[in-house]
Amino acid sequence: SLGWRRGVLVFDNTPLASAVDELNRYNRRQLVITDPSIAKLKVVGTFPATDLELVLAAAEDVYGLLVTHEGNTIRIHR
Protein backbone atom coordinates (compact mmCIF):
# COMPACT_ATOMS: atom_id res chain seq x y z
CA SER A 1 0.00 0.00 0.00
CA LEU A 2 1.10 3.55 -0.63
CA GLY A 3 -0.58 4.98 2.46
CA TRP A 4 2.78 6.18 3.77
CA ARG A 5 2.74 8.81 1.03
CA ARG A 6 -0.32 10.29 2.75
CA GLY A 7 1.23 9.91 6.19
CA VAL A 8 -0.73 6.80 7.13
CA LEU A 9 0.25 3.20 7.63
CA VAL A 10 -2.12 0.44 6.57
CA PHE A 11 -1.99 -2.87 8.41
CA ASP A 12 -3.93 -5.87 7.11
CA ASN A 13 -3.45 -8.86 9.42
CA THR A 14 0.08 -7.61 10.08
CA PRO A 15 1.89 -9.17 13.05
CA LEU A 16 2.26 -6.68 15.89
CA ALA A 17 6.06 -7.02 15.72
CA SER A 18 6.05 -5.93 12.06
CA ALA A 19 3.66 -3.05 12.77
CA VAL A 20 5.93 -1.88 15.59
CA ASP A 21 8.96 -2.00 13.28
CA GLU A 22 7.13 0.12 10.72
CA LEU A 23 5.89 2.64 13.28
CA ASN A 24 9.39 2.96 14.73
CA ARG A 25 10.64 4.13 11.33
CA TYR A 26 8.47 7.25 11.58
CA ASN A 27 8.77 8.18 15.25
CA ARG A 28 11.41 9.47 17.62
CA ARG A 29 9.76 7.61 20.50
CA GLN A 30 10.33 3.90 19.97
CA LEU A 31 7.95 1.06 20.67
CA VAL A 32 9.31 -2.11 22.26
CA ILE A 33 7.40 -5.37 22.68
CA THR A 34 8.53 -6.80 26.02
CA ASP A 35 6.31 -9.88 25.95
CA PRO A 36 7.17 -12.24 23.05
CA SER A 37 3.75 -13.90 23.31
CA ILE A 38 2.08 -10.79 21.84
CA ALA A 39 4.45 -10.27 18.90
CA LYS A 40 2.29 -12.36 16.57
CA LEU A 41 -1.02 -10.65 17.38
CA LYS A 42 -2.58 -9.42 14.15
CA VAL A 43 -3.08 -5.71 13.53
CA VAL A 44 -5.77 -4.46 11.17
CA GLY A 45 -6.36 -0.80 10.49
CA THR A 46 -5.13 2.46 9.08
CA PHE A 47 -3.21 4.72 11.44
CA PRO A 48 -1.43 8.06 11.15
CA ALA A 49 2.28 7.20 10.97
CA THR A 50 3.23 9.63 13.73
CA ASP A 51 0.23 9.28 16.09
CA LEU A 52 1.55 6.66 18.49
CA GLU A 53 -1.08 7.49 21.10
CA LEU A 54 -3.86 6.42 18.73
CA VAL A 55 -2.08 3.16 17.93
CA LEU A 56 -1.41 2.47 21.60
CA ALA A 57 -5.01 3.22 22.58
CA ALA A 58 -6.15 0.68 19.98
CA ALA A 59 -3.71 -1.93 21.35
CA GLU A 60 -5.02 -1.36 24.86
CA ASP A 61 -8.70 -1.42 23.83
CA VAL A 62 -8.62 -4.30 21.34
CA TYR A 63 -6.10 -6.63 22.96
CA GLY A 64 -6.05 -5.45 26.57
CA LEU A 65 -2.34 -4.75 26.33
CA LEU A 66 -0.51 -2.51 28.76
CA VAL A 67 1.67 0.41 27.76
CA THR A 68 4.50 1.85 29.87
CA HIS A 69 6.23 5.11 28.93
CA GLU A 70 9.92 5.41 29.82
CA GLY A 71 11.43 8.49 28.21
CA ASN A 72 11.57 7.92 24.45
CA THR A 73 10.80 4.22 24.88
CA ILE A 74 7.27 2.88 25.03
CA ARG A 75 6.98 -0.70 26.23
CA ILE A 76 4.03 -2.87 25.17
CA HIS A 77 3.21 -5.85 27.38
CA ARG A 78 0.44 -7.88 29.00
User: Residue 6's pLDDT is what?
Assistant: 74
Residues in contact with 14: Cβ distance below 8 Å, sequence separation at least 6, in sequence order = 22, 42, 43, 44
User: Residue 3's pLDDT is what?
Assistant: 61
The rounded average pLDDT for each run of 10 residues, N- to C-terminus, in the chain (78 residues) is 74 96 96 96 94 93 96 97
Q: What is the pTM of this model?
A: 0.90
Q: How far apart are CA 73 and CA 12, in angstroms?
A: 25
User: Residue 22's pLDDT is what?
Assistant: 95
